[in-house]
Structure 1
Amino acid sequence: MQYSTFHRNALASALALALFPPFAALAQAQDAQQPPPAEQAGAPAETGPDENARTLDTVTVTGSRIKRAEIEGPAPVTIITGEQIRKEGFTTIYEALSSLTEVTGTVQNDYDWGQSSVNASPLNLRNLGPGRSLLLINGHRVADYPLPYTGKSNFANYNNIPTGIVERIEVLASGASAIYGSDAVAGVVNVILKKDIEGDTLRARYGTTTEGGRSVREASWSGGRHGEDWSVAYTLQYFDRKPLWSHERPFMDEESDSPRRNWGYGGVQQGVATNTPQVGIRLYDVASDQRIRPPAGACDQFGGDFYEHNRILYNDFNGAQTDTGWQCANRSVFQYWTLRNGSKDLSAYVYGTKQFGDVEAWATVGYWDSTGKSNTFMPDWDSPNYIDAGSGREMSLLRYFVPSEIGGIDRALTKSKETNWDFNAGLRGTVFNDRFDWDLMAGRAEYELREHFPTIHEERAAEFFLGPSLGIDPATGLDIRAPDYDRLWNPVSRGGYDSVRAVGDKQARTWLTQASFVLSGDLFEGWAGPIGFAGVVEAARQGYELRPDPNTLGTDPVYGTPFGNIETGGGDRNRYAVGVEFKVPLLETLTLSAAGRYDRYDAVADDAKNTYNLGLEWRPFPSLLLRSSYATSFRAPDMHFVYADASESVSDQTDYYACLSDPNRQTSNCPGGTGEPYHIDNPVITRQGTQDLLYETGDSLTYGFVWDAFDGFSVSADYWRIDIENAIDDVGPDDVLLDEALCRLPGSERPLDKPERAPPSQALCDLQTGRVTRDDNGMVTRVEVGPINRAQQSVSGVDVASRYQLSTAAWGTFDFALNWTKQLTYKVAQFPGDPFENSRDRDRQMRYRGRASASWNIDKWTTVLFVDWIAGRRSDRYGGCTALPNGFRPDVATDCTDLREDPDTGARSITYGQQSELVDYYNQDQIYWNTSVGYQATEALRLNLYVNNIFDDHYQDKWCGGFAYCVANPVGREVAAEVVYRFD
């Protein structure tokens, strides 16, 4: 097919002048005989005698299995090349993909509390969640990451794809289940690996940050060879990125680094961020509710990590102070947390082909070995209550360890050792006189993980700090101990620490065996052109297994665990699918695409799922494409949603049934904190998977245009919308208890502090009331939680993209690219009947983001300037009230006015009648500039220099809560140098 080059018209010139005024003027000064601009990445070079025409080979583009000559199709596809990834300053595939404007959702941070994936990086396309986009490698599925995201659902890891093996990445950010099956709800990311390499290339790169920490070392060797009937391509890559520690960023190493206007009442009084600084060493007298003061100078012995702190509780109602004693408190609570995890990776990749007559055999094998490093806690031991043999008092103690005691900060790291290998092989050829292409493949992928985390052995720690048990106190049933308090108050030797240290060992594995057969080609010549066809048959078996350290299980573990809720589970299931796709030219300028697919999964309450999509392409002029697509999609329940074993934890809850049925309650809410009337003290919370889940279903709509306005300039704009029904998510204990109350007391009003939603349905009532267990006195003892089909979601927005290339005789070649996405709506209804309104601003979603690049090539020099920006996200505290000067934060329901009165005495609060402001604040736009400069020193040698985040911006929410992750980018400016040497 040929593309004609358009003569500039008035509208094209106006666009050029508006978007790139200086370069438009320069372009007009050039004579029309200038050579045409280079093609976009992935497009073939210009051929033929007509300099105003280009002939394109047929290629397969993500979103269709039918080969086509046109780069653009009925749904927009974003392409980013491997070379572009490097020039824009990215060292990993995940970093590059995260900069795409289609990625409008956030994911769990490296330094989140309770982080469940030390060495994994999920992607959140269209803000629909990490599990709702499909990752493909060379068009084939990959094994899931072995650990569930946030302990609940499976996802693909974008962190284990080495940059050295990537030819290009194609991203389709709309539903594509009719082509690829489950998970392709928000889109598909297809990573195309290098297959055709001639010669060898060595790369070596070193980088660091200008503020210190997080150095990066990278080396790779890639190459290829060809014979008359064979070829081979190979890549070996080493990558080592050190963790970034919080103490290397002093503005993020303690709670007091949060803005003072966010501090609570007690924090304002004490000059600290919170009322209760994190404990370092504490000896507690249970009977008197007092902390025993440390010996003089004890806290100062730990290298400045601890300080002596008088823990005073401040009543923000009447200003009363309660002295609870003294302790050694942490000076910088987060200083030994990692703000960015470290990773050391070794990867290898080989792709080979061999021709046997008209049939080509191919095989590819990839191997990735990695160790991730993370830390969000320091080793500590919190003793059970005991009877002090000397004083006869009931006591407890808490002891944190510091790096000088444990043998260095590296011994506090959680290390995730991961191995991922993927092997695929197949045959391909043509049939019926080369009319149809066929491809038969089979493959196996396995992903294994072994996570080691330092912890404290409960029994050995008790012996070390408390001494052996001297018997059982008959009054309390507690152990009688004769503690050696010198061990508590003085630094412990390395040997002493090792005597109580233990290392947890968590193991997990996923696997995938798959096979497929694809047939594609032209069925026959239609009235307006050939009728394209593709058919696919697929079969697969996937499985997973979570094997936590058995010592961390049970209600009285041998090892203390950092987070307490241990995920276990395992199972496998089969998947079968068949699909067809057609491309039908209706007119010379109008093409219809249609696809349908049947998928069946084991262990799903639904039997199977049918999906389809339709697309239209209309080219009223050779340079203008008007396009639209509609697709249905689905997602099978995640393996961990189905096969998770029962696990237990405990946490305080609120008894809403007791609250709503209490005729004497004096508040419109249900106070359930410690000491309050509707408090439930540590009921058992149990969670497990279920095979009663239905498929998530969805649909997506896109429409827009692509305009090749004139030589070197194109622009596209597309509207998109994605809807999901029956979305699977956990129901938490608070929801279960509230629904139980509303179901048992029909017509009751919801507490004012609970969001409005429809009354629970009868089906939901049957489920929720059965999940609450009460004893003979009506007290809640157990709450069952877990996944159900409950939510409805919808997102919509607009994508705009443009490219411009200008070639000059004297000044070289200029390339410009701009991508911009605006999220128009974000809607979520947690349960059927809930309000389904646009909550984009209320839920602090980003409004828009963009990426742009400008590159200049002249002689031996290449320069690239790249900018990534996110804007329109409201403050973390948006919709709440700012704090009064004493730290108290009124409620929105009182118009941000303090109207508190003591229900017993009628006394008013010390700030009664004072009013603060409503937070209606947008965060500062996050704009990061990268640049790279390359110099071709010789034909074989190239030197590159990279600077990321040129202006060393961090961006902190001035209203954000009291935790360090309110900072958007703790890394700051990064610099790197690279040497590239190519030889035959």
Structure 2
Amino acid sequence: MKLLQALPSLCAVAVSAVYAPNIMAADEEVERIEVTGSHIKRTDMEGPSPVTSISEEDISNSGATDLIGLFSKLPISGQGTFSTQANSSDDTANGGSSVSLRGLGADSTLILVNGRRVSVSPFAKGIDTAFVDINNIPVSAIKRVDILKDGASATYGSDAIAGVINIILRDDIDGAEITARIGDTSAGGGKEESASLVWGSHTEKSSHTFILDYFNREELLYGDRDYSKSANQSALRPNDPFAKSFRSSSGIPGTIELAVRPEDPEKVFRLPDTFGNDVCAPEDIDSVDNICRYDYAPVMTMVPENKRFSVNYMGKYDITDNVSGFLEFNGQSSKTTVKGAGSPSFNELFMSADNPNHPFADMPTHEFYNQDLTMRRRMVDIGNRLKEVESDYYRTVIGLNGQFGEWDWETAFSYINSKSVERGIDGFPNSRRAQEAIDNGSWNPFEPSTNTQEALDFIETTTNRVGESTNRSLDAKLSGPLLEMPAGELMVAFGIEYREETISDNPDDQFLRGEVFGTEATQANGERDNTAFYAELGVPVFESLELQLALRHEDYSDFGTTTDPKVSFLWSPLEDLSFRGSWGTAFRAPSLAQLGLGRTDESPSLVDTVRCDAVGNINKACEVQEYTAVFEGNPDLGPEESTSYNLGVIYNITDNLNFSLDYYSYDIENIIDSDTQFVFSNFGDDPNVVERLPSAIPNDPGEVVTIYDSFQNIGDLVTTGLDLDANFLLETGAGEFKFSYALNYMLKYEDKRPDSDGGQRINIVEGDFEQPEARWTAGVDWTITDFRSYLGLNYIGEFKQKEAVQKDGMPDIDAMMTVDASVNYYGLPDTVLTLGATNLLDEEPPFSYHDFMGYVTSVHSGQGRFVYLQASYSF
């Protein structure tokens, strides 16, 4: 590690060379180019592996203001893709976004920038999913995006199970360009402003490209949309027999409960607080469950406020006729603000029978008189929760490349650092101090209006969580013709990479002591180094048949070695007809968060099957409820392993009409995950696994306090499907029309998990919740004189409701189609004006019964119609 830490200073000479003044040269014609999916340079873009390229024009047509806005519309995107949408005060990766190809997980999709890895976010998603935060890359800096749609660990190493997204940055600017954009939603909330400055110059020996980018998005609350403005969906949909209320059981002033349950299960053990001056509002009293409920939806964040400023530089310098130096720098600073309702407490706090504020102290005939109490209470009196996340990211790559004879070589050192600080600045209580204030009588939880500001200030706390991830790497590769064969040159590539990764995610001591309730945070620390060797062969078997063979060997410091091969072919029996195929193995190394996670609290929704079987539906034990689960990392995890293959056809029917059709298959073993419901159901009576409160009810195991869980290599997954891409160019007297269509159709999806007999059960199949079988996009681009317009359709198929809420007669979640449109005007000198809209028809997301917001945030967007105006000026 010390070697790589010292390398930046050793490269100072090369840096000064890249920045040297009065330099530069004419670009030489490049005969061979490196295509995503191979280290061997080739003379054409079409290779054996399926690659989709998204151009600057495609990105502009999409109306996307950030990469996740683009990627979430891709048919190949699936469950596991996430954006800043649905960030909440409980989220562990606020402000982050990433994409999951084929629904195999964001941690199984490898993200590259200019063909090289970048560091993961220091804050894992869902406590364990390591991901590259694509918000760090502004749209204004992108030349194109290549998406490799088959497994590629033989070429790129870990995380490439589902495929690879290679983001190519702009480096070909000669001049300057200023762009400003403003947009807003028609229903309110989520207004955006952005501006960018791009400047580049080319001289005889060098090229430089600078990009400055600013982005500002206002918040969007669930209260800003009619279908999500209340957690009481049964009130929003009064004629729907399946709609239910998701209002919290933690209300204000709350629900009073006995600390020890009575022996008689029919005896009342809790009551909504209707005693004294401060009482639960009549509309919030749940008489069935004897609970004071709370509607938290109106003040919760759907899309957080976000501000980002980034700086990007790409530079090249010809040192000699055959050697060039290059430098890349990307830096960004961002701030995200997330809001949530006041912190809920679920029986964490207690009041003794002799407490001076006991609500029944003067009611000797009441059954709660002289009884120790606990409570479900919403801490609205100290304010709603507010989190701020500040993140700084920078990436530096410095290297040399060149040629000797017909051989190309390149070597580079890269350093990437990502640091985030999360602060809870309002609405977070310290449970230890809250309990102390109850005990000494300075704070009365049942009479909020009587409490002093001094008492509230004593209870409230601020929280801090600091995370950092780094990636240092050194790579070198060599490629060129090995020998001449009858059908052409035998091409070969060799390479070596050495990489050091670290991650730290450390909340403050309050979290570590379990003193902060109403939020979640992770703790993880780890480091590893990795050495990889790889080789590729491009074999021209016949003039019409090309084979590509790849092999990569990886040595990890924390779990061992792995070797992955890949074989692919491209057969072109006719000039306009080609067949392609690939087979290979891939792997995903356990993330540093999964290996080194410290004690971390989560709030999964589960069914207490052990208690349900023992005493029935006491306290809704037989129904889905939130429980506290404590997770820790597992240093004994092994890698996930995958075998995949792809078979496809490419047919250029005419010069203006072409299509490609590919069949894909993935078989993944040893998936790293947790299955808390399995642990809960099978070990729910083991006090070492599930901690419970004592109960006087016969045979009652007791109410759950904590469930202890960890990550294991427990799952297998098989998925197959079809990818179709078609393009048609129509030239008429009324202009030029470009038609495009892209489809992903899932034929099979089987996610297998352990069952109680030591075997496996099928947990999820195609068409289940979050797994639509079909996704497609279609578009037409029309160009005439000074105008270019675009109309696009985005379709997501229907899928089933979540199994936990599924009932007979309940409809599936409907398909959703949105329309995007834009018009560009080029009639002014050096200026482009754009008026556009995403979700032009303001389509609402289809209704789902599984959660309070009424739609599936991981699949559908709640943004609604978004209209924008953009102006670009070049000089």
In structure 2, C-alpha distance between the alignment counterparts of 1:212 and 1:75, rounded to whole Å: 44
1:870 to 796, 803, 809: 796
1:932 lines up with 2:819 in the alignment: no
Tell me by how many angstroms 1:181 deviates. Answer: 0.5
Cα pair distance change 1:380/1:725, threshold 3 Å = closer
Matching of residue 608 in structure 1 with residue 561 in structure 2:
yes
Which position in structure 2 is the counterpart of 1:371? 335
1:489 aligned onto 2:433: no
SS at match of 1:83: helix
Instruction: Show the counterpart of 2:158.
Output: 182
Q: Distance in 1 between matches of 2:761 and 2:603?
A: 32
**Which of 282, 293, 297 is residue 274 of structure 2 equivalent to?**
293
Matching of residue 858 in structure 1 with residue 784 in structure 2: yes
Q: How does 1:666-815 map to 2 (within 5 A)?
A: 669=613, 674=618, 686-732=630-676, 734-736=677-679, 738-739=681-682, 784-808=708-732, 810-815=733-738
| TM-score for both structures, normalised by structure 1 | 0.76
Q: Deviations over 1:221-273 (max 9, x none)?
A: 01101111111001000000111012211321212335447668xx9xxxx73
Relative distance call for 1:953 and 1:56 in structure 2 (3 A) is farther
Deviations for 1:546-599, whole angstroms, at most 9, x for unmatched residues?
Answer: 1101122214x2xx33235x4212121110000000111111111111111101
Aligned equivalent of 1:143: 119
Greater CA drift, 682-691 or 247-256: 682-691
CA contact (8 A) 2:674 2:710 kept: yes
Give the 3 Å change call, closer, same or farther, for CA 712–491 of structure 1 in structure 2: farther
Instruction: Specify every segment of 5 or more residues in structure 2 that has no aligned partner in the other structure, as ranges.
Output: 1-28, 260-268, 362-369
Is contact 2:250–2:377 with CA below 8 Å preserved after alignment? Answer: no
Which residue is 1:532 aligned to? 491
State the distance in 2 between where 1:632 and 1:184 align.
Answer: 10
**1:955 pairs with 2:845:** yes
Taking a change above 3 Å as real, the CA distance of residues 227 and 396 of structure 1, as seen in their structure-2 partners, is same
Give the C-alpha shift of residue 773 in structure 1.
9.0
SS of residue matched to 1:101: coil
Give the whole-Å Cα distance in 1 for the aligned partners of 2:765 and 2:465.
39
In the other structure, the counterpart of 1:759 is: none
- In structure 2, the partner of 1:336 is 299
Give the corresponding residue for 1:60. Answer: 34
Q: What SS does structure 2 have at the residue aligned with 1:736? A: helix
Distance 2:450 2:827 in 1: 60
261 and 309 in structure 1: CA distance in 2 versus 1, 3 angstrom threshold: closer
- Residue type of the partner of 1:481? G
Q: Which amino acid aligns with 2:314?
A: Y
Aligned partner letter, 1:730: S
Provide the C-alpha distance between the structure 1 equivalents of 2:446 and 2:622, rounded to a whole number of angstroms. Answer: 42
| Cα displacement string for residues 187-217 of structure 1 (whole angstroms, at most 9, x for unaligned residues) | 0000000111110000000000111111000
Instruction: State which of 420, 425, 440 in structure 1 corresponds to 2:411.
Output: 440
Q: How does 1:294-693 map to 2 (within 5 A)?
A: 307-309=281-283, 311-314=285-288, 324=290, 330=294, 332-357=295-320, 358-379=322-343, 383-386=349-352, 387-389=354-356, 392=361, 393=370, 394=372, 400=378, 406=383, 412-431=385-404, 433=405, 435-453=406-424, 454-458=426-430, 462=434, 479=439, 481=441, 488-489=448-449, 500-555=459-514, 557=515, 560-563=516-519, 566-604=521-559, 607-647=560-600, 669=613, 674=618, 686-693=630-637
CA distance in 2 between partners of 1:505 and 1:625 (Å): 57
Q: Is the 8 A contact 1:377 1:562 kept in 2?
A: no
TM-superposed CA distance for 1:333, in Å, is 2.8
Deviation at 1:482, TM superposition (A): 6.3
Separation (CA, whole Å) in 2 of partners of 1:724 and 1:779? 38
Is the counterpart of residue 250 in structure 1 residue 250 in structure 2? no
Q: In structure 2, the residue corresponding to 1:145 is in which secondary structure?
A: coil
1:124 & 1:80 partners in 2: Cα distance? 17
Matched residue type, 1:806: L
Going from structure 1 to structure 2, the CA distance change for 1:702 and 1:503 (only over 3 Å counts) comes to same
Do 1:262 and 1:961's aligned partners in 2 also have CA atoms closer than 8 Å?
no
Scaled by the length of structure 2, what TM-score is found? 0.85
**SS of corresponding position for 1:608:** strand
Unaligned runs of 5+ in 1: 1-54, 300-305, 315-321, 470-478, 660-666, 745-767, 883-916
Change (3 A) 1:851 1:480: same
One-letter identity of the residue aligned with 1:584: V
**8 A contact 2:227–2:853 mirrored in 1:** no
SS in structure 2 at match of 1:84: helix
Give the letter for the 2:310 counterpart. S
Distance 1:424 1:384, change over 3 A: same
C-alpha spacing 1:677/1:102, structure 2 compared with 1 (3 Å) = closer
Q: Which amino acid in the other structure matches residue 489 of structure 1?
A: S
**Candidates 38, 43, 58, aligned match of 1:84:** 58
Distance 1:246 1:313, change over 3 A: same
Counterpart residue type for residue 694 of structure 1:
G
Q: Structure 2 CA distance, aligned partners of 1:696 and 1:196?
A: 39
Deviation (angstroms), 1:400:
4.5
Whole-angstrom CA distance in 2 between matches of 1:133 and 1:860? 40
Cα 1:851–1:292, aligned 2, differ >3 Å: closer, same or farther? closer
**AA of the residue aligned to 1:105:** Q
Q: Determine if contact 2:815/2:846 at 8 Å carries over to the other structure.
A: no
The answer to whether the 8 A contact 1:181-1:599 is kept is: yes
Offset at residue 336 of structure 1 (A): 0.4
Amino acid at match of 2:713: N
Aligned-partner Cα distance in 1 for 2:349–2:691: 30
- Residue in structure 2 matched with residue 111 of structure 1 by the alignment: 86
2:245 counterpart (273, 283, 286): 273
Secondary structure, counterpart of 2:650 in structure 1: strand
For the residue of structure 2 that corresponds to 1:378, the secondary structure is coil
Deviations for 1:341-371, whole angstroms, at most 9, x for unmatched residues? 2210000100111111121000011001111
Alpha-carbon distance in 2 for matches of 1:838, 1:774: 30
Q: CA 1:483–1:98 in 2, change beyond 3 Å: closer, same or farther?
A: closer
Aligned to 1:944: 834
Contact 2:87 2:95 in 1 (8 A): no
Give the Cα separation in 2 of the matches to 1:128 and 1:64. 22
The one-letter code matched in structure 1 to 2:724 is V
User: In structure 2, how many angstroms separate the alpha carbons of the residues matched to 1:870 and 1:650?
Assistant: 29
- Mapped partners of 2:571, 2:357: distance in 1: 90
Secondary structure class of the residue paired with 1:976: strand
Q: Cα deviations across residues 727-768 of structure 1 (Å, max 9, x unaligned)?
A: 111242x42354459xx9xxxxxxxxxxxxxxxxxxxxxxx9
Q: CA shift at 1:872, angstroms?
A: 3.3
What's the CA shift string for 1:284-332, capped at 9, x where partnerless?
Answer: 3748743442667x67xxxxxx944463433xxxxxxx7x48x6x54x4
**Structure of greater Rg:** 1
Letter in 2 for 1:573: R
Deviation at 1:779, TM superposition (A): 7.1
Equivalent residues of 2:466, 2:507 under 8 A apart = yes
The CA distance in 2 between the partners of 1:545 and 1:340, in whole Å, is 26
